[in-house]
Amino acid sequence: MDPRNKSEDDICCAPRAPLNAVRVILLAMVPSSPFSAFTVLAVVLLAGGPGGIGFGQPAAAQATALSKEQAAAVAAYDKALREFKEILTQRRAQIDGKKKLPNLPGQAVYLARLKVMSTYKDLTDAVPSRIGRLNKFGVPPAYFEADIEPLIEEYAALFKIMQAPPADAQASDSPFKDVADLGRVIARARGLDAATVDAASRISLGLFFAETNGNQNIGNARSNTYKGSMQAGVAEDANGRRAWAALLPRIAALDPAVAARDDKETARVGSGDQRFNHWTAVRNGLMHGHADLFAQIPAIMKMLPDQIDQMKLFQLIQIIPTPTRNALASGNFAAYRISDPRIMGYLRNNSIFTFGKADRARTSATFREILDAMWLFTDKFERARTRFEEIKAQEKG
């Protein structure tokens, strides 16, 4: 098992350990790090009350003739929203005032955002008329009130600051192409056909967006363990490095240009942390967790024709690796059922079955249900697929 917390959060990024785990994140809208499976827009702060950021009258003031259950749902959402505004305002003041931040400064912010979405889903379940208009983040309206979009923009902006790359990070001028090239050459070195090589390249980009929202070399505001372009721990990075070294002779024979680039980047990072060189971080991350499954991509493509589902499956290797591999080996992936409370906790910490009492009450789920519940990842994977097609078009051009 490889539980972890991601750099950002699902609306923006996604974590891996249970919500109360010491090893901490999810989507920094980054997460995506930055959690956003969505593009971070300009921060819009609206004048509010003591909480600092406001949006008009509380919903409770507008409600009439509510049942006891409905009134409780309204009150719970108003409280969660108030607390979310307060932690955003507090963290912004600390950052702007150059004050020392607490350990894992993104965790309280992240949990407050989860609570807002969860209590809103409870509210819309109790009062369906509260389901509002579509929002710019692509979140189903039953889970998210479009009026609080500016709060999510501020949330993303804070994570961007808290997860900024360290000063000595070694960036790439072509971060997306690097990921695509590494996925492709690993698949080629495994002897896979052209269609599988393309799928491996696209899936690799999907993982980069899921882990960091497409941001290279980021830190992690919710974990002291997982860092860099693939949000790897030290042991994972070292394991991937060893696996790459074993495959490198084959890669050098197939693509001398990639081997030369690898020599250059390895020399550039020297004895430093390879997680903060984009090339080596992606290389090691793919080799640690995913390269051994590339040979199964043809069967996965047949089993899951939808490319987004394919990327979701590989992301589940990040979140719940052992159950996902067991499901693949079962002969009926979609129907394979998870019932372990610990595994369900890992899923919830990655915004899967997280929002609303009905989802939180679940004690089991099939992998088909899990894939369907990964809707906060969809935007990230769509953007990864678009990037992949752009890279392919540029190469043909």
Query: What pLDDT, in 10s, does the model give residues 362-386?
Result: 999 999 999 999 999 999 999 999 9
Report if residue 196 sits inside a domain. Answer: yes
Nearest CA-CA partner of 160 in 114, 221, 102, 205: 221
Report if residue 73 sits inside a domain. Answer: no
Query: What pLDDT, in 10s, does the model give residues 252-284?
Result: 999 999 999 999 999 999 999 999 999 999 999
For the beta carbon of residue 371, count every other beta carbon within 10 angstroms: 23
AA letter at 119: T
Query: What pLDDT, in 10s, does the model give residues 66-103?
Result: 999 999 999 999 999 999 999 999 999 999 999 999 99
pTM of the model: 0.85
Query: What pLDDT, in 10s, does the model give residues 26-73?
Result: 333 333 333 333 333 333 323 233 334 444 445 444 546 899 999 999
Interatomic CA distance for residues 209 and 379, integer angstroms: 9
Interatomic CA distance for residues 260 and 252, integer angstroms: 8
Query: What pLDDT, in 10s, does the model give residues 181-191?
Result: 999 999 999 99
Report if residue 105 sits inside a domain. Answer: no
> What share of residues in the chain are helix, strand, coil (percent, to 5)?
60, 5, 35
Structure-block tokens of residue 278: 């984009």
Structure-block tokens of residue 387: 């990037």
Out of 27-31, 208-212, 349-353, pick the least confident. 27-31
Q: Which residues contact 245 (CB under 8 A, 6 or more apart)?
A: none
Instruction: Kindly state the DSSP code that residue 128 receives in the 8-state scheme.
Output: G
pLDDT class of 397 with cuts at 50, 70, 90: confident
How many domains is the chain partitioned into structurally?
Answer: 1
Interatomic CA distance for residues 209 and 195, integer angstroms: 22
pLDDT computed for residue 5 by the predictor = 62
Structure-block tokens of residue 314: 């590989």
pLDDT computed for residue 21 by the predictor = 36
> The domain containing residue 359 runs over which residues?
172-396
Report if residue 102 sits inside a domain. Answer: no
Tell me the mean pLDDT in the region 112-120.
97
Q: Which residue reads 């030369």 in tokens?
A: 260
With vertex at residue 307, the alpha carbon angle to CA 305 and CA 311, rounded to the nearest 5 degrees, is: 120
Query: What pLDDT, in 10s, does the model give residues 281-327?
Result: 999 999 998 999 999 999 999 999 999 999 999 999 999 999 999 99
